[in-house]
Amino acid sequence: MKYTVQDGFPYYIELLGNSNYRQLFSSQENFALLESISEEQASYRYAAGKWNIKQIVGHITDHERIMTYRALRFSRKDITQLPGYDQNLFVENSRFDELSLRQLITDFKNVRAATNSFIGSLSELQLNLKGVAWKYELTVEEFLKATIGHEIHHIDIIKDRYLNN
């Protein structure tokens, strides 16, 4: 791979390879994996200071909300440069640990349904509009690709570090 996770959006986009991002957003595969995880497994941390699975699911959901909001603004020709966000602050100030994994998955599915509705409403022109968030200028379509790539990254971590112990 050309990029690493420290590169942010380009890394997440690269994770897609030749996959169709619209199909990935419509896939139920990752939801099925998450639904197969027990509450006990969902609270597991593979190392001190690492998030548990519930926190990862909440983080993926928050990230999708933020990225879709960015894509919405740029698809409407809003050229305001948008700041990054502190993912650790978001997780630390959430209730992810108090909620059941089922509740978190339901919230994630609701956000995904809204994302898919939004994607379906975009024209080719809108998909090609650009905006700047954090330090990257991307098209709306690239923001969407980075969003699903971010999910792929975290699902791979769940598989490798949480479910293979």
pLDDT at site 165: 57
Confidence at residue 164, expressed as pLDDT on a 0 to 100 scale: 82
CA 125 to CA 104: how far, in whole Å? 34
CA–CA distance, 113 with 117 (Å, rounded to integer): 6
Segment 42-85, tens digit of pLDDT:
999 999 999 999 999 999 999 999 999 999 999 999 999 999 99
What's the pLDDT score for residue 55?
Answer: 98
Measured in degrees and rounded to the nearest 5, phi and psi for residue 64 equal -65, -40
- Predicted confidence (pLDDT) per residue in 74-129, tens digit: 999 999 999 999 999 999 999 999 999 999 999 999 999 999 999 999 999 999 99
Over residues 123-140, mean pLDDT: 96
DSSP the chain: ----GGG-HHHHHHHTTT--HHHHHH--HHHHHHHTS-HHHHT--SSTT---HHHHHHHHHHHHHHHHHHHHHHHTT--PPBP---HHHHHHTS-TTTS-HHHHHHHHHHHHHHHHHHHHH--HHHHT-EEEETTEEEEHHHHHHHHHHHHHHHHHHIIIIIS--
